[in-house]
């Protein structure tokens, strides 16, 4: 019996030492470089093809297109069941280009590395949709992960996550939340 116990502990020790432990995966976010002169206001070019998404507490998504204009901007409401279709429709030229590249990859006309390079290039074009994601402080973490997944599914290569909501935007969000 003693040799069998020794063998069991030897095997247990071997498997513990040779097994790779779980490595947690992380979501990589890139933040913009701070300006050289913080007192100087940056020059804002005309916002082209931008979409701002607000993630709310009740799994609702409020959004507006292009630049925020006080008094003019209206929020539209959607949810996670319809957001993929909406993003694909707004990003149609890029999605069509990615689908065309995928077809060429499947037909073995291009290699995987070339496909990845051309896909990234298509997603970075000026006419490609740029999405700004702004979760409210009471939004669910799961919704944030889901919306980042939707960016990849919808072929959106340019998106940013901001943790601050302007006071003017918050007023619009509060007005829209009263309609829920």
Q: What is the pLDDT of residues 37-67, one digit of tens each?
A: 777 765 655 556 888 999 988 888 888 888 8
Q: Supply the pLDDT for residue 176.
A: 82
pTM: 0.69
SS (H, E, C) 36-60: CCCCCCCCCCCCCCEEEEEECCCCE
Q: Report all structural domains of the chain as residue ranges with CATH numbers, in order of start.
A: 46-91+129-180 (3.30.420.270), 92-128 (no CATH)
Q: Supply the pLDDT for residue 67.
A: 81
Q: Supply the pLDDT for residue 103.
A: 92
Low-confidence ranges of the chain (pLDDT < 50): none
Asked whether the beta carbons of 177 and 76 are under 8 A apart, the reply is no
∠ CA 108-128-51, nearest 5°, is 135
Q: Supply the pLDDT for residue 168.
A: 87
CA 138 – CA 161 distance, rounded (Å): 15
CA 42 – CA 139 distance, rounded (Å): 30
CA 79 – CA 14 distance, rounded (Å): 50
Q: Supply the pLDDT for residue 46.
A: 54
CA 124 – CA 98 distance, rounded (Å): 12
Q: Supply the pLDDT for residue 43.
A: 61
Q: Supply the pLDDT for residue 41.
A: 67
User: Which residues partner with 160 through β-bridges?
Assistant: 132
* Strand, helix or coil for residue 107: coil
Structural element, H or E, at residue 160: strand 158-161
Instruction: Please report which residue ranges of 19-134 form alpha helices under DSSP H.
Output: 83-90, 92-106, 112-123
């Amino acid at each position: 019996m003693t040799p069998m116990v020794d063998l069991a502990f030897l095997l247990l020790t071997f498997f513990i030492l040779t097994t790779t432990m779980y490595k947690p995966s992380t979501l990589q976010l890139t933040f913009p470089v701070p300006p050289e002169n913080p007192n100087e206001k940056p020059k804002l070019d005309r916002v082209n093809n931008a979409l701002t998404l607000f993630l709310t507490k009740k799994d609702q998504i409020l959004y507006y297109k292009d630049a925020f204009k006080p008094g003019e901007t209206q929020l539209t409401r959607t949810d996670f069941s319809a957001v993929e279709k909406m993003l694909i429709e707004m990003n149609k030229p890029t999605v069509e280009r990615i689908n065309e590249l995928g077809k060429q990859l499947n037909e073995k006309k291009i290699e995987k590395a070339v496909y990845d390079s051309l896909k990234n290039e298509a997603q970075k074009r000026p006419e490609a949709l740029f999405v700004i994601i702004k979760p409210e402080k009471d939004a669910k973490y799961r919704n944030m992960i889901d919306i980042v997944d939707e960016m990849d599914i919808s072929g959106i290569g340019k998106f940013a996550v901001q943790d601050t909501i302007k006071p003017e935007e918050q007023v619009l969000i509060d007005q829209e939340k009263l309609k829920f």
